[in-house]
Structure 1
Amino acid sequence: MTDPVLALDDLRLTLAGGAGPVEVLRGISMQVGRGQSVGLVGPSGSGKSSLLMLMGGLERPTGGRISVLGRDLAAMDEDALARFRRDNMGIVFQSFHLIPTLTALENVALPLELAGAGDAMARARAELDAVGLGARTHHYPAEMSGGEQQRVALARAMAPRPAILLADEPTGNLDAANGAAIMDLIFALRDRHGATLVLVTHAPELAARCDRVVRMADGQLAPEEAPAEAATGADQ
């Protein structure tokens, strides 16, 4: 693969535990091309979320190398990592992580304002319209349902038009109907912005919509599957 967006080489993560060191990730090597969608699946505790955190520079590896858009994340200090994430990544978590004292519009506009965008409010409104919340711009998180809050979080992640979208169980706290709607929005926004998508999920129907499916077990990668195979074998 030429010029991958994400390149992991023998990536390792060891954390201190009460009974001694715990090997969370054990030699992960993979590449993700520009515009690809990759579903990370596997049982709880297999290392999926930890791997996503490393991709986003939210956790430091204890071994190996991770390159994102040609930049070595290990070479950046925390301030440089924060700027790099701001300029290049959108991250969506299972928990919405909205700021409770800001309206939906203000939550979405915040990363744009931090990046110095002069049209932050206009772009935030456009993203809220894109997720079907144009009428909820002035509502606070506590005044919205879980599905609506996740839509706001998705709009916030996509408003800066990131090159990479990282999503960690984005439908995990939602009922089936809202989860399906968020799934549709994730792929619609990915297509609209041309972002590379890495998605951690236990939902087989969501993994099946990705270009590639990567299964993890015990901190390692299994041979890659076709999406249809993952849909029948992912955890329920």
Structure 2
Amino acid sequence: MPQTHEPAIELEDVRFTLEGNAGRVEILRGITLAVARGETVGLIGPSGSGKSSLLMLLGGLDRATGGRLRVLGHDLTAMDEDALARFRRGNMGVVFQSFHLIPTMTALENVATPLELAGVADAFDRAAEELAAVGLAARADHYPAELSGGEQQRVALARAAAPRPKLLLADEPTGNLDEANGRAIMDLLFGLRERHGATLVLVTHARELAERCDRVVRLRDGRIEGAAPARAAE
């Protein structure tokens, strides 16, 4: 999907602080960043740099403690939990490193669930279509425990893509996979992004995955250390 000048994400001096037994911990210390619609951005940096926390803020799964955060034209800091859930359901797909599939549901049911919650009439037909797109049509009736790690991540990708989100967020999507499965998931992730025309922001330690993005943003100690076209970032 071609990029446009209209931003999908706008962050101005975004801060995220947690209160712990040892006092305040500053996770993000003033992040200012814009992501264009249709752009693919990789968030990289050492462990503890704030990458996953930033992704969770973008998904409305955590709340910023300072600054301004707009996603797809909506101010997430002004929304309550119910409004955030509705917004996320209608506009975002999220893929986690640890899959987060519902163990008592089949692959098909896992993919169909967010569609049913959104009131999609053909939820199971669309879920079957998305499973076929990730090569799992024959595994639709299997439960997560009956699937390999690579297959479970494919189900998670299908579930994220099924609502046809405008924004796709992925947190270390290849982190729990071997090299071959990781490469397959990379191909599927970017293929789904192209098919649905979504903006993609992903957290990764995998150089190969970061290099496939339009731009890489490097974080360190809760701040942006640098941003560059992917192949110039390493």
TM-score normalised per structure 2: 0.97
Shift of 1:73: 0.5
- 2:168 is aligned, of 165, 169, 173, to 165
User: Which of 46, 57, 60 is matched with 2:60 structurally?
Assistant: 57
Question: For residue 90 of structure 1, what is the aligned residue in structure 2?
Answer: 93
Deviation (angstroms), 1:154: 0.3
Q: 2:116 aligns with which of 113, 116, 125?
A: 113
Q: What does residue 220 of structure 1 align with?
A: 223
Q: Which amino acid aligns with 2:149?
A: G
Which of 136, 139, 153 is the matching residue for 2:139? 136
Looking at structure 1, the residues matched to 54 and 98 of structure 2 have their Cα atoms a distance apart, in angstroms, of 18
Query: 1:198 and 2:197 equivalent?
Result: no
Q: How many residues align?
A: 231
Q: Take 1:20 and 1:114, find their aligned partners in 2: how far apart are those partners?
A: 39
Q: CA RMSD in A?
A: 0.9
Asked whether 1:45 is paired with 2:55, we answer: no
- Which letter maps to 1:8? L
Contact 2:5–2:37 under 8 Å retained in 1: no
Q: CA deviation at 1:20?
A: 1.6
- Identity score, percent: 72
Q: What is the DSSP-based 3-state SS (H/G/I as helix, E as strand, rest coil) of the residue aligned with 1:59?
A: coil
Gaps of 5+ in 2: none
SS at match of 1:91: strand
In the alignment, the residues of structure 2 paired with residue 165 and residue 124 of structure 1 have an alpha-carbon distance, to the nearest angstrom, of 17
CA distance in 2, matches of 1:176, 1:142: 21
SS of equivalent residue, structure 1 residue 202 = coil
Q: SS state of the match for residue 10, structure 1?
A: strand
Aligned residue in 1 for 2:77: 74
CA distance in 2, matches of 1:82, 1:30: 23
Shift of 1:225: 2.2
Residue 16 of structure 1 pairs with residue 19 of structure 2: yes
**Is 1:184 aligned to 2:187, yes or no?**
yes
1:102 corresponds to 2:72: no
Give 1:77's aligned amino acid. Answer: D
Is the 8 Å Cα contact of residues 41 and 216 (structure 2) preserved in structure 1?
A: yes
- 1:223, CA displacement in angstroms? 2.2
Cα distance in 1, alignment partners of residues 50 and 214 from structure 2: 21
Structure 1 residue 2: Cα displacement: 4.2
Match of 1:33 in 2: 36
In structure 2, the partner of 1:208 is: 211
Cα distance per residue 1:181-231 (max 9 Å; x no partner) = 00000000000000000000000010000001000000000121221133x
1:68-98 Cα deviation digits (max 9, x unpaired): 1111011111011000000000000001100
Q: Any idea what the Cα deviations from partners look like across 1:31-62, whole Å, max 9, x if unmatched?
A: 11110000000000000000000000000111
